[in-house]
């Protein structure tokens, strides 16, 4: 029987549940599903008009060291190696107990949801950890990619699923995986790629006869859809457009439920076991960004627009406390900005498709390189802020010649894009026939930019970046071009027909959250738990203390502690 949101009981007729979950990203839905598997009655309340949160906009990758798929391939001892890695990565910036709980629990979470629900992932054998210079770093297998999901299984809930970032789709609504995108770029040269394109396009055309977008869901959209489907299948109730106005307590102590507004009506919902906060942190709140993130304060975020810290504020209002501040409290993407036709702003993350490719560089406002362009997105933005203390690096410019742009793309502009005029007309893309002309367009000193390009080009033959060691690790090289030798990340930057796109630091997530136990119990300043109040995802203090170990670290952490929270509440009577 197809799922139909019109058949839900009206929220104002639902009086109680065992567990109320605020937020519908991977963290919240994992908590919901795990609680349902334990036999609890679950209600999920989402503030936004769509389900999925920031997860729906993301790659959907989950970082799960020592996962079962690794062990099935004969890869053993990864639990010890991962512990060595996190000990070196986190160091004294945060306590060991939270990240050790993550390592102990993540493989169990993944196996449990695979065995008892259809939460399916596949390993990424060639996805190295982001800090391979640290002992214990993995060369692959720890990141897990969600399998594609047929959105038609959601019935009427498909239209309530948050769409992906439009610029990450094809034809404005067809989703493809990163591997598929890599193949489709070469469709004119490969019969296999051409057949893949024909198959995906055919499915998409059929979908558009009935749906607003494609129903083959991948990456974060696929993960959220799969979790939502499993929640619905087990009788979980999920409601969108709900503003929770307060946490209800028993004599100011135990949390007993929530008060809310929906459709202009006030209501209350009781929770026998507790309330779980899974609102996604505060990357989309200008006030929170100004208070918690470094200066210059980011003006934009690629995160879900409702990830504004409101669930954290609910907890603070009844005595909860934030964890210790980190280095910068952000989980970062370098992003470019472009106004869409509908007036909204595209905040496009430069993750791996251009920064590490040979033939491109990133310069500051003095026309100089300031960092290793092939660092992870998180570490690159940190490098932007660190270098900004000496010279203006925010915003910065990614620069490449015509060959670079055609071969690798640049931000929103895909490889082999035939028509650049719209991007030039609205200023997203800058062009200069010479170094001097481009320098004038982006307002950097021409002489310094010329020197920077010539010095970088001097590294091409040896493949050694004498300034920032670009392409010196397995992670960096994995994002380069293997056809470029001797260093897949270093190639000649042409001095004619040059293009540039402006880059800004943008938080995808935040790492400073509510202080909590390893079971997600929200703590008071005294260290005592607030009975009945739990937290997971980016509302929770990061177990990695703001560090970013590898692809999918946020989702892996969120799902793991969502699972722990639900198990904790289910075990209590």
Give yes or no: residues 249 and 380 share one domain. Answer: no
Which tokens hold the place of 60?
């959907």
Give yes or no: residues 324 and 362 share one domain. Answer: no
Tell me the CATH number at 82: 3.50.50.60
Which tokens hold the place of 221?
């959209």
| Residues paired with 121 in a beta bridge | 146
Give yes or no: residues 470 and 566 share one domain. Answer: no
- Check residue 178 and give its pLDDT: 74
Average pLDDT per 10 consecutive residues for the chain, totaling 573 residues: 89 97 99 98 98 96 98 96 98 97 98 97 96 98 96 95 86 71 64 70 74 88 98 98 97 92 96 98 98 97 97 98 96 97 95 96 99 98 98 98 96 93 98 98 98 98 98 97 97 97 98 98 96 98 98 98 97 76
Tell me if 401 is assigned to some domain. Answer: yes
Which tokens hold the place of 45?
């309340």
Give yes or no: residues 263 and 223 share one domain. Answer: yes
Tell me if 208 is assigned to some domain. Answer: no
Q: What is the pTM assigned to this prediction?
A: 0.95
Let me know how long the chain is. Answer: 573
3-class SS at 156?
Answer: helix
- φ/ψ of residue 245, rounded to 5: -100, -15
Return d(Cα 449, Cα 469) in angstroms, integer: 19
Residue 393 DSSP class: -
Tell me if 445 is assigned to some domain. Answer: yes
**How many CB atoms within 10 Å of residue 454?**
12
Give yes or no: residues 294 and 361 share one domain. Answer: no
Give yes or no: residues 298 and 436 share one domain. Answer: no
Contact 255, 530 (CB under 8 A): yes
Query: β-strand 521-523 against 429-434: which pairing, if any?
Result: unpaired
Contact 154, 230 (CB under 8 A): no
- Which of 485, 507, 529 represents a domain boundary (last residue)? 507
Contact 341, 318 (CB under 8 A): no
Which tokens hold the place of 345?
């702003």
Residues contacting 289, CB < 8 A, separation 6+: 282, 283, 297, 298, 301, 507
Tell me if 177 is assigned to some domain. Answer: no
CA distances from 371 to 352, 375, 377, 390 (A): 16, 8, 12, 13
In the chain, the number of structural domains is: 2
- Check residue 213 and give its pLDDT: 85
Contact 164, 180 (CB under 8 A): no
Which tokens hold the place of 541?
């203090």
- Check residue 19 and give its pLDDT: 98
Tell me if 164 is assigned to some domain. Answer: no
- Per the structure, the complete domain to which residue 408 belongs is given by 331-507
Give yes or no: residues 401 and 517 share one domain. Answer: no
Tell me the CATH number at 403: 3.90.700.10
Taking alpha carbons only, the member of 258, 226, 194, 177 closest to residue 11 is 258
Residues contacting 58, CB < 8 A, separation 6+: 219, 220, 508, 554, 555
- Check residue 189 and give its pLDDT: 66
3-state class percentages of the chain: helix first, strand second, coil last, to nearest 5: 35, 20, 45
Give yes or no: residues 291 and 428 share one domain. Answer: no
**Three-state SS annotation for 239-276:** ECCCEEEEEEEECCCEEEEEEEEECCEEEEEEEEEEEE
DSSP for 333-392, please give it: EEEEEEE-TTS-EEEEE--SSSTTSTTEEEE-TTS-B-S-TTS-HHHHHHHHHHHHTTS-
Taking alpha carbons only, the member of 443, 442, 446 closest to residue 428 is 442
Give yes or no: residues 533 and 499 share one domain. Answer: no
Element spanning 85, H or E: helix 78-90
Tell me if 199 is assigned to some domain. Answer: no
Tell me if 162 is assigned to some domain. Answer: no
Return d(Cα 212, Cα 208) in angstroms, integer: 6
- Which of 507, 526, 553 represents a domain boundary (last residue)? 507
Tell me if 4 is assigned to some domain. Answer: no
Give yes or no: residues 428 and 537 share one domain. Answer: no
Rg (CA), the chain: 24
- Check residue 165 and give its pLDDT: 87
Give yes or no: residues 320 and 363 share one domain. Answer: no
- Which of 455, 477, 507 represents a domain boundary (last residue)? 507
Give yes or no: residues 309 and 340 share one domain. Answer: no
């Amino acid at each position: 029987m197809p799922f139909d949101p019109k058949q839900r009981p009206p929220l104002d007729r639902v009086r109680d549940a065992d567990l109320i979950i605020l937020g519908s990203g991977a963290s919240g839905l994992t908590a919901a599903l795990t609680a349902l598997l334990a036999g609890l009655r679950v209600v999920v309340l989402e503030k936004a008009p769509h389900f999925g949160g920031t997860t729906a906009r993301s790659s959907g990758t989950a970082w799960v060291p020592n996962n079962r798929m690794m062990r099935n391939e004969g890869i053993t001892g990864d639990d010890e190696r991962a512990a060595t890695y996190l000990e070196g990565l986190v160091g004294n910036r945060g306590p060991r107990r939270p990240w050790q709980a993550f390592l102990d629990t993540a493989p169990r979470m993944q196996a449990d949801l695979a065995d008892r629900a259809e939460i399916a992932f596949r390993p990424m054998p060639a996805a190295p950890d982001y800090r391979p210079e640290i002992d214990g770093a993995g060369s692959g297998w720890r990141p897990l990619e969600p399998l594609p999901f047929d959105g038609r299984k959601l019935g009427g809930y498909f239209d309530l699923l948050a769409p992906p970032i439009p610029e990450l789709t094809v034809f404005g609504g067809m989703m493809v995986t990163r591997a598929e995108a890599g193949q489709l770029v070469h469709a004119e040269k490969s019969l296999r790629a051409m057949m893949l394109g024909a198959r995906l396009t055919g499915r998409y055309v059929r979908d558009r006869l009935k749906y607003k977008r494609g129903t083959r869901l991948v990456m974060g959209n696929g993960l959220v859809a799969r979790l939502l489907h499993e929640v619905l299948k087990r009788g979980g109730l999920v409601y969108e457009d709900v503003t929770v106005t307060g946490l209800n307590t028993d004599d100011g102590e135990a949390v007993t439920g929530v008060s809310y507004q929906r459709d202009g009506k006030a209501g209350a919902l009781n929770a026998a076991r507790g309330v779980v906060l899974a609102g996604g942190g505060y990357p989309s709140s200008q006030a929170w960004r100004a208070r918690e993130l470094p200066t210059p304060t980011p003006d934009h975020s690629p995160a879900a627009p409702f990830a504004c810290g409101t669930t954290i504020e609910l907890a603070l209002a009844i005595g909860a406390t934030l964890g210790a501040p980190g280095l910068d409290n952000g989980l970062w993407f370098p992003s470019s900005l472009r106004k869409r036709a509908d007036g909204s702003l595209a905040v496009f993350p430069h993750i791996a498709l251009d920064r590490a490719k040979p033939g491109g560089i990133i310069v500051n406002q003095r026309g100089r390189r300031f960092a290793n362009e092939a660092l992870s997105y998180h570490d690159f933005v940190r490098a932007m802020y660190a270098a900004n203390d000496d010279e203006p690096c925010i915003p910065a410019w990614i620069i490449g010649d015509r060959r670079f742009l055609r071969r690798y793309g640049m931000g929103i502009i895909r490889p082999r894009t035939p028509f650049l005029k719209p991007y030039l007309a609205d200023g997203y893309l800058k062009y200069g026939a010479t170094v001097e002309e481009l320098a004038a367009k982006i307002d950097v000193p021409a002489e310094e930019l010329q020197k920077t390009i010539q010095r970088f080009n001097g590294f091409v033959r040896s493949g050694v970046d004498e300034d920032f060691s670009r392409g010196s690790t397995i992670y960096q090289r994995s994002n380069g071009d293997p056809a470029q030798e001797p260093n897949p990340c270093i190639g000649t930057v042409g001095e004619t027909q040059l293009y540039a796109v402006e880059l800004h630091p943008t938080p995808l997530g935040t790492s400073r959250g509510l202080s909590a136990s390893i079971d997600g119990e929200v703590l008071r300043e005294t260290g005592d738990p607030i009975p009945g109040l739990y937290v997971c995802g980016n509302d929770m203090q990061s177990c990695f203390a703001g560090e970013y170990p590898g692809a999918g670290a946020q989702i892996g952490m969120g799902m793991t502690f969502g699972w722990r929270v639900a198990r904790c509440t289910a075990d209590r009577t």
